[in-house]
């Protein structure tokens, strides 16, 4: 059996000035390597900024020749071990983290990684073979497109909000850079937990959408130099319990101004770059904890899916692309005009691309 998949290839020139690009190629259907393996027919795949960085050559340890992509939803069509036959026909979401031990501080000696960069095969293809323990049944209230949006962005947000920031009901939470997949999930999770959520952005339209669609209380535009004072007027001077941050840069000192003593900054990214003049004195005098966070554990993934089920959370999808339009989808991510996830619809693509 032959399928088509996007293989990461290097290039000397590209219309988007990339160093690597996803090449659509016919390849053999993947086979089982272990008794724990299952074959999943993919329905949809989600883009992450990771794919853009890889194409630009800015991601560490890039190895060409493997199938691209990390996030996906699909249907189990075959299993290596008859004990798993009950899974056949199940609609699933794939956790793209490979070989992560239950102890979050340790990595498996056989090699930790994320699907979509060799040697770990990716999800921009019609089928993928993965270990059974990375699968979680798709929430019934979600379409395959919506479910594909969850894995990396959702897991990163879950860990940042609950494991690191310990967000609880009635706490006042600031989520920065609203519009990205992680920040949107963070807002949805915190609101669903009963927190009082505010957001920041450099785009007023995204703030309005967050108020109307994510049900946050309010937000401020950080292009305004006095944004931290403006934010506190919206809370009647009440300080924040935590900041969930993927921006960093020179904004971190402003976070310290709006945080109460003993609060937390949960930082999962730095889209604005390094914080070159961090006010360390204010940080320790207010007993503020700066906690770095990235991705999450298998248990956190399972807990996140259960929470999405319980709270009936619906991921925000900005745009869905045809399977063949992957390059343009990745390039669109570079504009930062989207609000929510960009999804590749695999299920509805031309069925003729699979042949014997």
- Confidence (pTM): 0.91
State the number of CA atoms in the 13 A half-sphere of 181 facing the CB.
25
DSSP-derived 3-state class of residue 83: helix
Q: Cα-Cα-Cα-Cα dihedral of 188, 190, 195, 197, to 10°?
A: -60
List, for residues 278-311, the tens digit of each pLDDT value: 778 877 888 888 988 888 888 999 999 999 999 9
Residue 201 CB: number of other CB atoms within 10 A? 25
When pLDDT is cut at 50, 70 and 90, the band that residue 273 belongs to is low
State the Cα–Cα distance between residues 340 and 328, nearest whole angstrom.
Answer: 17
Name the pairing type of β-strands 172-175 and 240-245: parallel
Q: Residue 299 belongs to what H/E stretch? A: helix 298-311
List, for residues 138-178, the tens digit of each pLDDT value: 999 999 999 999 999 999 999 999 999 999 999 999 999 99
When pLDDT is cut at 50, 70 and 90, the band that residue 100 belongs to is low
State the Cα–Cα distance between residues 209 and 212, nearest whole angstrom.
Answer: 5
DSSP letter for each residue of 174-232: EE-SBTBHHHHHHHHHHHHTT-EEEEEES-HHHHHHHHHHS--SEEEETTSTTHHHHHH
List, for residues 174-213, the tens digit of each pLDDT value: 999 999 999 999 999 999 999 999 999 999 999 999 999 9
pLDDT for the residue numbered 296: 86
What mean pLDDT is predicted for residues 17-27?
A: 93
């Amino acid at each position: 059996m032959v399928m088509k998949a996007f293989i990461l290839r290097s290039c000397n020139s590209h219309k988007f000035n990339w160093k690597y690009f996803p090449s659509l190629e016919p390849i053999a259907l993947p086979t089982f390597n272990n008794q724990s393996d299952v074959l999943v027919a993919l329905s949809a795949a989600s883009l992450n900024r990771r794919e853009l960085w890889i194409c630009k050559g800015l991601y560490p340890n890039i190895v060409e020749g493997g199938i691209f992509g990390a996030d996906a939803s699909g249907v189990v069509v075959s299993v290596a071990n008859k004990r798993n036959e009950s899974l056949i026909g199940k609609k699933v979401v794939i956790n793209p983290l490979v070989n992560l031990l239950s102890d979050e501080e340790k990595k498996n000696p056989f090699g930790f990684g994320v699907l979509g960069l060799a040697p770990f095969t990716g999800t921009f293809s019609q089928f993928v073979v993965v270990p059974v323990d990375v699968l979680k049944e798709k929430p019934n209230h979600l379409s395959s497109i919506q479910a594909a949006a969850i894995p990396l962005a959702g897991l990163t947000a879950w860990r940042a909000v609950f494991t690191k920031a310990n967000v609880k009901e009635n706490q006042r939470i600031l989520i920065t850079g609203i519009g990205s997949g992680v920040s949107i999930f963070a807002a949805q999770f915190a609101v669903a937990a009963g927190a009082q959520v505010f957001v920041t952005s450099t785009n007023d339209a995204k703030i309005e959408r967050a108020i109307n669609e994510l049900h946050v209380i309010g937000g401020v535009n950080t292009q305004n130099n006095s944004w931290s004072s403006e934010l506190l007027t919206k809370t009647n001077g009440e300080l924040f319990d935590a900041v969930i941050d993927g921006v960093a840069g020179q904004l971190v000192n402003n976070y310290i101004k709006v945080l109460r003593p003993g609060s937390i900054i949960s930082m999962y990214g730095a889209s604005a770059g390094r914080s070159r003049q961090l006010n360390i004195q204010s940080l320790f005098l207010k007993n503020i904890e700066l906690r770095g966070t990235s991705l999450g554990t298998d248990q956190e993934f399972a807990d996140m899916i259960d929470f999405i089920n319980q709270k009936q959370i619906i991921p925000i999808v900005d745009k869905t692309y045809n399977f063949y339009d992957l390059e343009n989808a990745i390039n669109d991510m570079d504009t930062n005009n989207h609000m929510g996830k960009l999804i590749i619809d695999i299920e509805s693509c031309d069925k003729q691309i699979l042949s014997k």
